[in-house]
A and B are shown apart, each in its own frame.
Chain A
Amino acid sequence: MNLTSKEYMEYLVLAAKKIDDNGNYITSLDAITGDGDHYTNMQLGFSKLTENADEFALLSLSECFRKIGMTLMSAIGGSSGALYGSAYISASKVLMDKETIDTPLLLEILSTMLDAIKKRGDADVGMKTMIDALAPAVDVFRDGLTAGIDSSSLFEAVKQAADNGAQSTKDMEAVKGRAYYQANKGVGHIDPGAMTMAYQIETLMDYISEL
């Protein structure tokens, strides 16, 4: 598995579509625990990436990730924009002078993104946020890679971990963000930010499995 900016942008176009296809579902989740705008804001950000995909595909990986970060930051806005922006900008530093992303480097990127999101959001696992989809995916990725399991099983396991992680937010009490204001802290409902994070990881794993 080797990704350049071109493949990474192809993946993001697919992720944009995945988010778009599930727009009504995401909005319905956010209407319960937030203020109903998570999908529309994510859509603004990811459609900007789709528009710029051909242009960004020509950049070095590091510059490509930096541009993705800046785009998401200004187009999504809100918490998600700041968090995805910070994630991609941190990852762009890891990618300095790298020409392709292989499997170990992809793990390092996801792990760097997780750290950046935790730091920017002053949040951790178990607070009913996007971290609850990303963190278990990174853990499973690391364990699988260390254990040396084959690529297709590894990618499938990471994908499952992200989805299970998003589903697990259903029972969690929110600590950060708007769901915190709910009388029951959003218990009983999946966090929309965790769901859209899981969609991205799922799409990425499916995409690299096909390469």
Chain B
Amino acid sequence: MKKIINEPANVVPDTLEGLALSDPTLVYSKGFEVISRKERREKVGLVSGGGSGHEPAHAGYVGKGMLDAAVAGNVFASPGPEGILEGINMANNGKGVLLVIKNYSGDIMNFDMAKELAEMDGIEVESVIVKDDVAVPDSTYSTGRRGIAGTIFVHKLAGAKAEMGGSLAEVKDVALKTIENIRSIGMSMSSCILPAVGKPGFTIEDNEMEVGMGIHGEPGVERTAIRPSKELAEILVSKILEDYDYIGSEVALMVNGLGGTALMELYILNKDVHELLESKNVKVYKTLVGNYMTSMEMAGCSITLLKLDDELKELLDFPCETPALKL
């Protein structure tokens, strides 16, 4: 393992302290592992969080027009309720708090517990669950579909609504509408190494890729030989279009890197995805290319499509200013 770290046990606090030092508008609550906005104003608070290792998610999206607080757990493990409660408190300015939760068993349990604790303290809390990964079938019985990079669009649009002065119910409605219209799928070419474990979680041959792999290295739908970018675009986009009809719509597109893939490659993929979407009569209104939801140093990417209407476009175009996204 070659990583720029000190004690593996301290990677989370060290990361957050470093992030806070990079942006004077942020505050770091040590011990709770929460990053929040220094400036407090009367608006609905937006809180997200989850396991670490997906930087810049979620702390990198704290700032004007997006999150008010982000709570970090250990690498790939949900934060506990105490940390989440601290996040809620830091985001609460009297108009209620919305929790944006990715669909993983641990996150849901811990956020639910924190929500119960906050409600006992008299804070109005609502929550939404993001499940955008089409690699997994949706289900109410099992854990079901995972939450991945599409979550960033939920932060963006719900964050805009909150910044514009929307009520808790309105902000929640925007989040739900975004979730309804969002689909993603990933692809991985290498494993990542958990700092506390020190060796790769799985192996994948040099000439192979795994389509549909999750952001914690969860297995995908197919392991196959690596393909040219054009074919990869075809594989990923068709999985999304099989699941949800974007034909004839305007969309926001995110070409996301998992942390270990060069931006050069993401731009190449973006070109191919654009051409493909155009040929299928899907109009790209806005594009984001970059490392937005990562798996540390994992090589690979994900594609996210969000179907837009006038309301969502206005929210997407609303300015935001965070360490990881400025629009």
Contacts and interface: CB of A to CB of B under 8 A. Distances in A.
Interface of A: 27, 31, 35-37, 40-41, 44, 70, 73-83, 85-86, 120-121, 175-178, 180-183
A183 B219 contact: yes
B113 A85 contact: yes
Helix, strand, loop or mixed for chain A's interface? helix
B110 A181 contact: no
Given A175-B141, A177-B105, A177-B143, A36 B197 contact: yes
Contacts of B109: 79, 82-83, 86, 120-121
Contact of B82 (A35, A37, A73, A177): A73
Which residue, B75, B81, B109, B218, has most C-beta atoms of chain A within 10 A?
A: B109
B219 A31 contact: no
Helix, strand, loop or mixed for chain B's interface? loop
Contacts of A178: 104-105, 216, 218
A44 B194 CA distance: 15
Contacts of A40: 74, 194, 196-197
B113 A78 contact: no
A52 B183 CA distance: 46
A176 B73 contact: no
A44 B74 contact: yes
A77 B194 contact: no
9 A-B pairs with least C-beta separation: A78-B77, A79-B106, A82-B109, A74-B80, A181-B218, A78-B106, A40-B196, A35-B216, A77-B77
Contacts of B78: 77-79, 81-82
A181 B146 contact: yes
27 contacts: A27-B197, A31-B202, A35-B216, A35-B217, A35-B218, A36-B197, A37-B76, A37-B194, A41-B77, A73-B81, A74-B81, A74-B83, A77-B74, A77-B77, A81-B106, A82-B109, A82-B113, A86-B109, A121-B105, A121-B109, A176-B142, A177-B105, A177-B143, A178-B216, A178-B218, A180-B143, A181-B143
Contact of A41 (B74, B143, B214, B217): B74
A180 to B, nearest CB: 5
B229 to A, nearest CB: 26
Contact of B80 (A27, A37, A81, A176): A81
A183 B214 CA distance: 13
Which residue, B79, B80, B201, B219, has most C-beta atoms of chain A within 10 A?
A: B80
B80 A79 contact: no
The bracket for how many chain B residues form the interface is 20 to 34
Contacts of B324: none
Given A37-B197, A177-B143, 14 more contacts: A40-B74, A44-B9, A44-B74, A77-B51, A77-B77, A77-B80, A78-B51, A81-B80, A81-B110, A82-B78, A82-B80, A180-B142, A180-B143, A181-B218
Interface in B164-211: 194, 196-197, 201-202
A37 B74 contact: yes
Which residue, B74, B146, B202, has most C-beta atoms of chain A within 10 A?
A: B74
B136 interface: yes
A82 B74 contact: no
Contacts of B110: 73, 77-78, 81-82
Contacts of A73: 80-82, 110, 113
B74 A78 contact: yes
Contacts of A36: 194, 197, 201
Contacts of A176: 105, 142-143
Interface in B29-81: 51, 73-81
